[in-house]
Structure 1
Amino acid sequence: MDLTDANATGQHVPTAVHPQNERPTRQISSPVDRDSRVYNMQHQRRGKAYIFNHDLFDASLKLGERVGSKTDVENLERALSQLDFKVSCFHNCDITSVRKNIKQLAEQDHTDNDCVMVIVLSHGMDGKIYTSDSFYHPDELWLPFTSDKCPSLAGKPKLFFIQACQGMKKDAGSTVQYDSSKMDSVATQEYSIPTMADFMIAYSTIPGYVSWRNTENGSWFIEALCEILITYGRQDDLLSMMTMVLLKVATLGRNYSQIPCVVSQLIRRVYFPPKQSSYTSICLASYNLF
C-alpha cells in the first residue's frame, strides 16, 4: 500500500542463429536509424497515455481509501496533455478491466504514434499492485508491449509509472548539512531489436519500502513528476527529468524520506518536442493576446 503523510558503434552484424523449436526473429520496420541517439518523436501523434487510478477498494481487501489520488490524476492530465499525449483515465477498475484495457491498448495500431505511456496509482505490497477487487504483478502491464507482441511500437519508447508501496519499511533518512561557501546510418541495414528494449519503468519507491501521499497535494512522486514535466518537458530528455524527480522526492521529506526507482532499458534519449498542431495553437493564442 502507499501511505498518507501527516503534514552500437560496431559495423559487424552477426548472422542470426535460431535454435531448434524457436521461432525466427520477426522482421519489423524500425522508426529510427540504428545509430540514432534520439528516439523519433516526429510521428503524427505523441501517443496514448492510460492512467489507472485506484482509490477505493473492496472491503475484503482491507485497504484504506487513497485520499488525494484524484489530485494526482488532475496533475497528470494537465502535464501529459501539455506534452501532446492523448490521456485516458480509468477509475477503480477491477482486475478483469485492467487486463482488458491493457490488452486493448497493446493491440492498437501505434504506427503513427511516438510512444505509449501507462500510469498506475494504487496500493501495492511485495511485488503486487491492487485493483478494486484483487491484485496483479507489475510485469502484466508491460509484457504485452514487447516488440514481438506489439510490432507497431517496436523501436519506440514504452513508459510505465507506478505509484504504489513496495513494502512496509520506512526510510528515516539522514540529516545532511553543507558548507554554503562551497556552493557557488545506414537506413537500409538490418539489425536486431531486443524484445525488452525501449522500456522505462519508474516506481515511486524502492522494493520493500512505503510510498508517501499527501491528502491534499497527492503523492510525493506524482506531484514531483508533474512539476518537472510541466517545467522542463519541452527542453530536457526524459531520463534527465527523472533524475530531477528523484532529487525532488528525496529531499522532500522531514520525519521520513523516499527515493523512487527508475529501471531503464531505453537505448536512446526521449524528448517531447511540440507537435505542429500544438505549436499552431500556442501561436494563435499568443496572436489573440494583441
Structure 2
Amino acid sequence: MSQPEEQLTNNGNGEEQRPNGSNDEGDALGSHGASDRPRIAQMPVHRNALYYKMDHKRRGVAIIFNHEYFDIHNLKPRTGTNVDSNNLARVLKSLGFSVTVFENLTYRTLSAHVQEVAEMDHSDDDCLLIAVLTHGELGILYAKDTHYKAENLWYHFTADKCPTLAGKPKLFFIQACQGDKLDGGITLSNITETDGSSSTQYRIPVHADFLIAFSTVPGYYSWRNTTRGSWFMQALCDELRSFGTERDILTLLTLVSQRVALDFESNTPDLLPMHQQKQVPCITSMLTRILVFGKKN
C-alpha cells in the first residue's frame, strides 16, 4: 500500500554589451546592504565549457539522511524508507561516490554533519550529493526532534562559503511531502473514431509537462510504498542504475518524472479520497553546464 509522507498543517568575449548610460537594476524594493567582495576560487573548467569536469580523482561525497522515526507531533514511522536508503546508497556507490548514511538524526546533529561536509576540501572531487528522506510540508523538512527549512541543506555550499566546490555540481534529492493536497490526475485521450468509440488514453497528474529535486510539487503529497519504498526514489534509483554513466542528469531526471507520473498510482481502496492519486517530481535546475557522471575508475 502506498502512503503519503505525513505533514502538519542567468561581444565576442562573452560579455554583455550595454547601451551608453545604461545600468543594471534589481527588482527588489527597499535599501540593500553592501555585500562582501567574493573570494577567489579555483576554476574547475574553461569559462565556456559545455560539460562539467567529471574526471577528478574522486567522484565526491554523498550523504543520505534517512529518517524513519520521529519524536514530535505524533509523526508516523516512515515504513519503507530503509528500502529507499539502501537502494540509493548502492547505486551511488556504483557511480563512484563515497557514501555515508545517517539514521534518524536530531536537527542539531544533522546540521553539524552538513557543516562538517561544507568545511571539507573538495578540490579533488567532481561534485557533491545530499539526499534527505523524511516527512515534510511546504518549505519544511523534519529531523527526529524538530522541523527546519529545506534551504538549510544547501546554505553552506554556496561558492563563497565552500570554494572547493565552486563551479562544481551540488545535487540535492529530497523525498518528502510538500503539503497535503492530492493530485487526482487527468486523462489524455487520442480519439481515433468520430463517434469516440475507439481511443488510446492514459492518466497523468495535472502538474505534468511543466519543466534541487523534490519528490513532489509544492503543496502536494509525496507517496511511499511500505514494501518497495517511495515512488520517487524507486524511479531515481532505476534510472541511475540503468543510465547513470551515460545520460546527462536533466535527461535522467526528466525520465524519473516520467516514471513517477505514468507508472505509479496510489492504491488505498479502503480510503477512497486517497485512492488512485498521482504524483510528479519537481526539478529545479540552476546548473550552468551539462552534467554526465561518466564511468569512474
TM tier relative to shorter chain: 0.7 to 0.9
- Report the Cα distance in structure 2 between the residues aligned to 1:244 and 1:211, rounded to whole angstroms: 18
Amino acid at match of 2:294: P
Range that drifts further, 167-176 or 140-149: 167-176
Question: CA separation in 2, counterparts of 1:10 and 1:220?
Answer: 47
Aligned-residue CA RMSD (Å): 2.4
Asked if 1:218 is matched to 2:239, the reply is no
Distance 1:238 1:160 in 2: 12
Match runs of 1:26-41 below 5 Å: 26-41=39-54
2:175 counterpart residue number: 163
The whole-number CA distance in structure 1 between the counterparts of 2:285 and 2:11 is 20
User: Does residue 140 of structure 2 align to residue 138 of structure 1?
Assistant: no
CA drift of 1:123 comes to 0.2
Match of 1:106 in 2: 118
SS of equivalent to 1:269: coil
CA distance in 2 between counterparts of 1:10 and 1:81 reads 42
1:48 and 2:61 equivalent?
yes
Take 1:267 and 1:247, find their aligned partners in 2: how far apart are those partners?
Answer: 23
Aligned to 1:264, the other structure's residue is in SS state coil
CA distance in 1, matches of 2:199, 2:250: 27
1:257 paired residue number: 278
Distance 2:166 2:133 in 1: 26
Query: Secondary structure in 1 aligned to 2:239?
Result: helix
CA distance in 2, matches of 1:43, 1:249: 33
Any unmatched runs of 5+ in structure 1? 184-200, 277-290
* Equivalent pair of 2:260/2:279 in contact (CA under 8 Å): yes
Q: Is the 8 A contact 1:9 1:35 kept in 2?
A: no
> Residue 121 of structure 1: which of 130, 133, 147 is its match?
133
8 Å CA contact 2:132–2:175 kept in 1: the answer is yes
Q: For residues 104 and 163 of structure 1, what CA distance do their matches in structure 2 show?
A: 23
User: Could you say if the C-alpha distance between residues 120 and 20 of structure 1 is closer, same or farther in structure 2, counting changes exceeding 3 Å?
Assistant: closer
**How far has the Cα of 1:182 moved from its partner?**
11
**Aligned AA for 1:266?**
L
Change (3 A) 1:212 1:23: same
Structure 2 distance, partners of 1:103, 1:140, is 10
How big is the shift at 1:179? 6.5
Alignment of 1:195-234 (within 5 A): 201-234=212-245
Q: Per-residue displacement from partner, 1:160-180 (whole Å, max 9, x unpaired)? A: 000000000010101233469
- Report the more deviating stretch, 77-86 or 22-31: 22-31
Kindly provide the CA deviation profile for residues 88-131 of structure 1, in whole angstroms up to 9, marking residues without a partner as x: 00000001011000000100000000000000000001211001
Distance 1:228 1:257 in 2: 20
Which residue of structure 1 lines up, in the alignment, with residue 288 of structure 2?
267
Structure 2 unaligned blocks of 5 or more:
17-23, 25-31, 193-197, 201-211, 266-275
Alignment of 1:242 with 2:253, yes or no, is yes
- Structure 1 equivalent of residue 103 of structure 2: 91
The answer to whether 1:65 aligns with 2:77 is yes
- Asked if 1 retains the 8 angstrom alpha-carbon contact of 2:189 and 2:199, the reply is no
Structure 1 residues 182, 109: closer, same or farther in 2, change over 3 A? farther
Q: Is the 8 A contact 1:120 1:163 kept in 2?
A: yes
**Does residue 1:78 correspond to 2:78, yes or no?**
no
- One-letter identity of the residue aligned with 1:45: R
What's the CA shift for 1:246?
0.4
Matched residue, 1:282: none
Deviation at 1:253, TM superposition (A): 2.9
Structure 1 residues 20 and 95: CA distance shift in structure 2, 3 A: closer
CA contact (8 A) 1:61 1:134 kept: no
Q: Which has the higher helix share?
A: 1
Select 2:163's aligned residue among 126, 148, 151: 151
**1:205 to 1:27, Cα distance in 2 relative to 1, 3 A:** same
Change (3 A) 1:21 1:165: closer
- In the alignment, is the contact (CA less than 8 A) between 1:114 and 1:157 conserved in 2? yes
